[in-house]
Structure 1
């Protein structure tokens, strides 16, 4: 199980722990929805498209490892060379996400849920998913939540 704890309320920065042991730090990069991290000696970058509906996971040499598509929709997916992982928003009232075996599944395989309303902490229970992909999934959801909060704040200000 992965846990993300927001380190600073001023910046997008999370400490990620795996089974209560420190694993890595997701560090915001630039003005776009993007984070960097290093896992097992490999530097990764998660970056959104300009519309925010697609995220890519690349290594420091520019190789694409995975791509998240249809971000912000009720159903979205992560495409990798090994296959596609399907997700859905748990309900219209909650931002929690469920990992499902296929688009028609009713029973979740795993989940990502908020554990702190104000701080932006989260918990990812993604059993059997490789750690680099699980971290990418968690990062995408954290960035998705930040993007939705920013859009809500902008709408409230007008």
Structure 2
């Protein structure tokens, strides 16, 4: 289980832990939609296209590690390591995303607290850096939705 807790109400940084062990900090980008993180000594950058529907996760050499397409839509995908992971939003108004395998739910990602912004992700079979990327993209989408609603 991967969890993410907001470190401060002001900055938008999140501390991520895998099964209770700290593994990374999601640091949102100031200039572009996305963020950066480091896990196991490797730095990664996640950036969105101009519409915020496609995100690329790059390693420190600029190589694409993962591609998230149709982010924020009812159904979306993550391509990484030669695999395609399929997700769907559980309901129109809800904040839960479901990881699917052959159309059946095998994992999930959900905000556990609207107030604190805490998140839980159970994404079996997905490499840890890709899990962090998926959580980071959801953080970016939820923050953009909050900004649009309050603006």
Shorter-chain TM-score range: over 0.9
CA distance in 1, matches of 2:26, 2:68: 17
TM-score (norm. length: structure 2): 0.95
Match of 1:151, SS?
helix
Task: Tell me how many residue pairs correspond in the alignment.
Answer: 151
Is 1:7 the counterpart of 2:7? The answer is yes
What is the aligned-residue RMSD (CA, Å)? Answer: 1.1
CA distance in 2, matches of 1:117, 1:75: 22
CA distance in 2, matches of 1:81, 1:4: 24
Unmatched tracts of structure 2, length 5 or more: none
Match of 2:51, SS?
coil
CA distance in 1, matches of 2:68, 2:125: 18
Unmatched tracts of structure 1, length 5 or more: none
CA shift at 1:76, angstroms?
A: 0.4
TM-score (norm. length: structure 1): 0.91
Paired residues of 2:28 and 2:140 also in contact (CA < 8 A): no
CA distance in 2, matches of 1:8, 1:19: 22
Moved over 3 A (4+): none
